[in-house]
Amino acid sequence: EVQLVESGGGLVQPGGSLRLSCAASGFTFSSYWMHWVRQAPGKGLVWVSLINNDGSRTTYADSVKGRFTISRDNAKNTLDLQMNSLTAEDTAVYYCARDYCAGGSCYSIDYWGQGTLVAVSS
C-alpha cells in the first residue's frame, strides 16, 4: 500500500524557516517524480514544487522560487521541503504527493499524503 506521511509542520514567525519531510513507503520511491502542493485554509490547491526521480531536476512556483528548496533521499525514501523567509501567505496545509507516472512525469498526482499544517504568524 502506498503511504506518504508528512511531518515538520507547525507555528513559525514571519521571516522564519521550517523544514517539512515526507516518508514514503509501499512503492519504489526512486522511480517516481514527487510534488509538494499546498492548500490555505478554505482555499484551493496550489502547486509548490516538483523534483525528478534522481533529484537532479527541480522546478518551483514563482511564489516560492528562491525561498523554498525541494530535495529527496532515495536511500531513505524521504522527500523534503526547506522553507525560508516565510510569510503569512505561506500558511497552508502542505501535501507530499506522488506523480502518476514512473520514470518520468505525467504532471498528474495519484497519491497524496494527509498533509501537515504550516502556520506563519507572530
Partner 1 sequence: QSALTQPPSVSGSPGQSVTISCTGTSTDVRSYNRVSWYQQPPGTAPKLIIYEVTNRPSGVPDRFSGSKSGNTASLTISGLQAEDEADYYCSSYRSSSTLIFGGGTKLTVL
Binding positions for partner 1, rule: CB under 8 A: 35, 37, 44-47, 50, 57, 59-63, 95, 100, 105-110, 112-115
Q: Which is nearer to partner 1, 16 or 27 (CB)?
A: 27
DSSP letter string, 17-70: -EEEEEEEESS-GGGEEEEEEEE-TTS-EEEEEEE-TTSS-EEE-TTTTTTEEE
CB of residue 29 to partner 1, shortest distance in Å:
19
CB of 42 to partner 1, least distance (A): 10
The C-alpha angle 5, 7, 11, rounded to 5 degrees, equals 145
**Nearer residue to partner 1 within complex by CB, 27 or 60:** 60
Q: How far is the CB of 62 from partner 1 (least distance, A)?
A: 5
- Residue nearer to partner 1 on the CB measure, 13 or 65: 65
Nearer to partner 1, 39 or 78 (CB): 39
Interatomic CA distance for residues 74 and 23, integer angstroms? 11
User: Residue 95: in which H helix or E strand, if any?
Assistant: strand 92-102
